[in-house]
Amino acid sequence: MLRVYFFDSKGYSARASGKPALDGLTIKLSGTKRHQYLETADMAKIENNNNQLPQDDYIFDKAHKKSGAAKVEVISYSMKELKDGKPKNIKEIMKYISDDRITWVNIVGINDDALMQGIGENFHIHHLALEDIMNQNQRPILEDYDKYLQIVLKYCDYDEAKKEIKIEQVSMLVGSNWVISFQEKTHKIFESIIKRIKAGKGRIRKMGSDYLAYAILDCVVDYYFVLLEKIGEDIEETEDKITEKTRPEIIQDIFLLRRELVYLRRSVWPLRDIINSIYKTDSKLFKKPTGVFIRDLYDHTIQVMDTIETYRDLVAGMTELHMSSISNRMNEIMKVLTIVSTIFAPLTFIVGVYGMNLYMPEAKWGGTYFAIWGIIATIALSMAFFFKKRKWF
């Protein structure tokens, strides 16, 4: 029997179990070395036997629990036959599974407990694999369960309005003649694969489930190139702002770009390792003909990593350029103020001398007032001409 426990700081609630909670017990998964640590204020509380959780129980964190049924799309195909639909439950999904066809089950929404239970029971999926799929903060991994492979990776989407990256999780279970993919939200990222399958173009209808898994991975990696192109445009736009006119808020744009590149790097780096592991795997699920495409996909991830590193260098240079522009701007201002002060220094001396309340013999001479103004103007113009000739301004 499947029992799903939802945890929060107050305790837990257990489906199919009405007994009161026991305090002070830490969760352990029997038969494994793995411990389940939850991000809660208190120690996890659970009913169990000798501090052990039964092997067939699944644990889900309430922090990631959201109500709502998942959306399921199924495409089952061979070279001559194709069936597709939107089943509402696991029984309808299982009708598409056939030994002579490749079946792709795409599930949008990872919090449908009944569906996840059905997936686990009908496809014989280990509870740890389901747990990783439902954990939205799961690190990208590749796990070989002999009869199927589990792949968890990060998909990055770009918010045009906010100009920021949103990272979401994409998980896959790859069997001998089926692939189950899990998405948090609906995206058009897999539309190209669906069109190729329905049109019967290319080699996808001729290949097995391993090639379908490759195609899904390829879509995720290709979208990184689209994402990097948009980030490249933002970098060029920010560079233009720096060179045209330096403003204090530009530094915020630079920090935002730097943060986005860090997010990308954290997502792509483990993805590269996963693809390399698939290429080197001894699993019978990935056949030798598909290995060529996996190797090409690995090269694409290297290109993505190189582009990210290049952009990181550009953004680091933009920070230095911004600080240099501010410094140059300050120097220009100080130069103008220094020139003005230098010109007015002798003028201030003349005005100070004749501003003293003392007897001045030349005060009786005719035209003295205009002569002093002439001297002041001559000194000011002479100094300005001298500075201009030396190209000091």
pLDDT (tens digit per residue) in 178-191: 999 998 887 778 88
Checking if the pLDDT of 206 tops 60, the result is yes
Give the domain ranges of the chain: 1-65, 71-324, 334-389
Q: What is the pLDDT of residue 324?
A: 80
| pLDDT tens-place string over residues 6-64 | 443 333 333 333 333 333 333 333 333 333 333 333 334 444 444 444 444 444 444 34
DSSP category for residue 222: H
- How many residues are recorded in the chain? 393
Of 136, 114, 130, residue with least CA distance to 62: 136
Q: How far apart are CA 172 and CA 193, in angstroms?
A: 15
For 181, the 3-state DSSP assignment is strand
Q: What is the pLDDT of residue 45?
A: 40
- Which CATH number does 71-324 carry? 3.30.460.20
The structure's pTM equals 0.69
15-19, 226-230, 358-362, 363-367, range with the lowest pLDDT:
15-19
Q: In the prediction, which pLDDT does 284 show?
A: 87
Q: Which residues contact 335 (CB under 8 A, 6 or more apart)?
A: 392, 393
Q: Is the pLDDT of residue 134 over 70?
A: yes
State which fold the 334-389 domain adopts.
Methane Monooxygenase Hydroxylase; Chain G, domain 1 (1.20.58)
Do the beta carbons of residue 165 and residue 157 sit within 8 Å?
yes
Question: What is the arithmetic mean of pLDDT over 296-300?
Answer: 93
- Do 239 and 217 form a contact (C-beta atoms < 8 A)? no
